[in-house]
Amino acid sequence: MTVNAGRDPSDRQLTLLHELAHWIGPRPERRRRRTIHHDAAFYRIAFALYARHGIAPAVALAGEAARYPSCLGHARALGVPGAQAAWQARRVELRERARVRPAPRVLVAEHRVRLVRDGRWTRCRVCGVRVVGPVLRRLRRRGGSHILLAR
């Protein structure tokens, strides 16, 4: 296992405590075939460790949110000081980013998906996009159409 921390001593301490929270916390849950490492149970332990070791809530929130933005919702639920304001600032930032994002352009107009095999992959014959997972299962069962967009 490799752990990366910045040159800042507070970032190193935060990273070490974050990994310690993984070690002493409950075993990660599997949901929908994915392992969930950063859930409410994990952040309950992590934020308690940060407070116990003298890391200010604002520093802990900034450090965690830089890598894992989902921590803001958990911190709000836990009542971490400053979490509500950080969560609202993140929402404003996401809204602003979406507002200035250019509209996607259509590369291939809406078309009926025609599935073909390409080695180990299944692709749409019309646009060449790989089709995998639940979408592939649904298209095999009852067909469908899609549009190929680009930013």
pLDDT digits (tens, 9 = 90+) for 114-133: 999 999 999 999 999 999 99
Strand duo 105-112 + 29-31: pairing: unpaired
Where along the chain do its domains lie? 9-100, 105-150
| 56-114 pLDDT per residue, tens | 999 999 999 988 999 999 999 999 999 999 999 999 999 999 999 988 899 999 999 99
Res 131: pLDDT: 93
What pLDDT is recorded for position 151? 79
Is 0.75 surpassed by the pTM of this model? no
Distance (Å, whole) CA 46 – CA 55? 11
Contacts of 12 (CB under 8 A, 6+ apart): 5, 6
DSSP H or E stretch at residue 70? none
pLDDT bin (cut points 50, 70, 90) of residue 32 is: confident
| Tokens, residue 144 | 């469908």
